[in-house]
Amino acid sequence: MDRIKRWVEEAITAGYEYEVYVEKRRKTTVESSDETLENLIKSEDAGIGIRVFKDKKMGFSYTTDLTESSLKDCVRFAMQACNVTPEDEGFSVGNCKSWGTLDTYYDKEGVEKPVEEKIELVIDLERRAKSLDSRVRGVRKTSLKEIELEVMCFNSCQLYYTYRGTWYTSMIAVLTEEDGDQSISYEFVGSRRLSELPLQEMLQEVVFKATATLKPSSIHTKKMPIILYRDASAMILEAFSPLFLGDYLVKGKTFLKGMEGEPIFSEKLTIVDDGSMKGGFLSLPVDAEGHPTKKNVLVEKGRFIGFLHSTYTALKSGANPTGNSVRDSFKSPPSSGITNLYIEPGEYSLEEMLQKDEVFLITDLMGLHTVDPVSGNFSLGASGIIYRGGKREKSVRGVVIGGNIKELWGAVVEVGKDLRFYGNTGSPSLYIENITVGG
């Protein structure tokens, strides 16, 4: 750090404050198809992102050339950008505390595992998926991704932290067939340690979903109760997560603006973001700007509590930073973002929620990229199973559910106890009344 700091301070002009973010990323991707290795990709990326501040202005620049001359040029480019940027009271350096080396999750055993064993692990996932149900005809793709990240950050007001961490994800796409009808489903899991990836649960879930919609029947458009299966609910939560971000607040792009303290959703619904969660996929002791991470309750029993803030959005909105400053990489400045976002579990099992006269269990959703977090509107393709009195009646595929997220979350009647995380977003299953299902 001393060398980089010296170069920055030699290049910067008096009166500027600065922040330096140094990152080194190693990534390994293993992909298989038809029980054969399809891709093995290894990459490494390193660089420095520099922000400078002066007179309520901010400039940003980055470089992948870590030599002295390139770093000093990067500082000069950032100052030039700062000089032409409009004044904004939100531009300020982050925390000013030295944290030293952070205690976080680094899987030394996973990183050192031979790549041949990782290839075999991925191919074996295909075999195991096929063994779970005779209707599994093939696996379109299976993958394992490993990210090893080294980070150092410091600023001109004594912030300093450094850490090394690991992240693992796995994905599988399964094709099933019965009497000539085919169905495909996907599943994704993540963990900070390779050995803790819930791979067997991933296989059971994807086979269940892929077989659930085989030989579908048609239904007429009507209003009926639905159960959002836990991964479908988690995907909706992730798609609408911008509603809770400070950046959307200051841009006027969330309908929750000005509604702090008001009952917005069902009293059964509590939504939390917790960057300090033990074992959480995006857990770290501090955020990108050095603010301590913590548990932030966003919705408590239906009542909207508040937004997730970075330094910038906190200053702009008169709030305090919430430990939610995140960075995609050294190539971009920090912004407000989610850490480990989830709906708190309730007291009902999925089996108990299915004991209704008629209910549509939604196992798959399509078109989540089309939702509108600004208005809350959505129109999604849905597939799943119609249950009557706890017994499976028929499969349904390609129907439509639409409306507004305020209405959807407002109609939650029961919350399951089957909370599960899919990367950094988690949810239990939700029983929701009076939803229009378009046949």
Where along the chain do its domains lie? Answer: 2-209, 210-237+345-438
- The count of other CB atoms within 10 Å of the CB of residue 195 is 11
Q: Residue 439's pLDDT is what?
A: 77
pLDDT over 90 (residue 328): yes
Angle at 380 between CA 376 and CA 383, to 5 degrees: 140
* H or E element, residue 406: helix 405-410
**Residues 323, 317: Cα–Cα separation, whole Å:** 15
> How far is residue 364 CA from its own chain's centroid?
18
The tens digit of pLDDT for each residue in 183-241 reads 999 999 999 999 999 999 999 999 999 999 999 998 999 999 999 999 999 999 999 99
Q: Residue 356's pLDDT is what?
A: 86
Q: To 10 degrees, what angle do helices 68-84 and 2-11 make?
A: 50
Q: So what CATH class is 2-209? A: alpha beta
CA neighbor of 232 nearest in space, from 413, 408, 411: 408
C-alpha pair distances (Å), 214 with each of 105, 183, 207, 241, 387: 41, 6, 11, 32, 15
| Tokens encoding 48 | 């420095």
CA neighbor of 101 nearest in space, from 231, 286, 371, 246: 286
CB 64 within 8 A of CB 45: yes
> What phi, psi does 172 have (nearest 5°)?
-145, 145
Q: Where are the alpha helices (DSSP H) in 137-182?
A: none
pTM of the predicted model as reported, rounded to 2 decimal places: 0.96
* Cβ neighbours of residue 159 closer than 8 Å, sequence gap 6 or more: 19, 93, 94, 95, 96, 97, 98, 99, 153, 289, 290
Band (pLDDT 50/70/90 cuts) for residue 357 is confident
**Residues 163, 217: Cα–Cα separation, whole Å:** 53
- Using a pLDDT cut of 70, give the percent of the chain over it: 100
Mean pLDDT of 241-269: 97
- Cross-strand bridge partners of residue 53: 17, 58
> How far is residue 221 CA from its own chain's centroid?
33
Tell me the average pLDDT of the chain.
Answer: 96
Burial of 103 per CB tally in 10 Å (0-12, 13-18, 19+): exposed
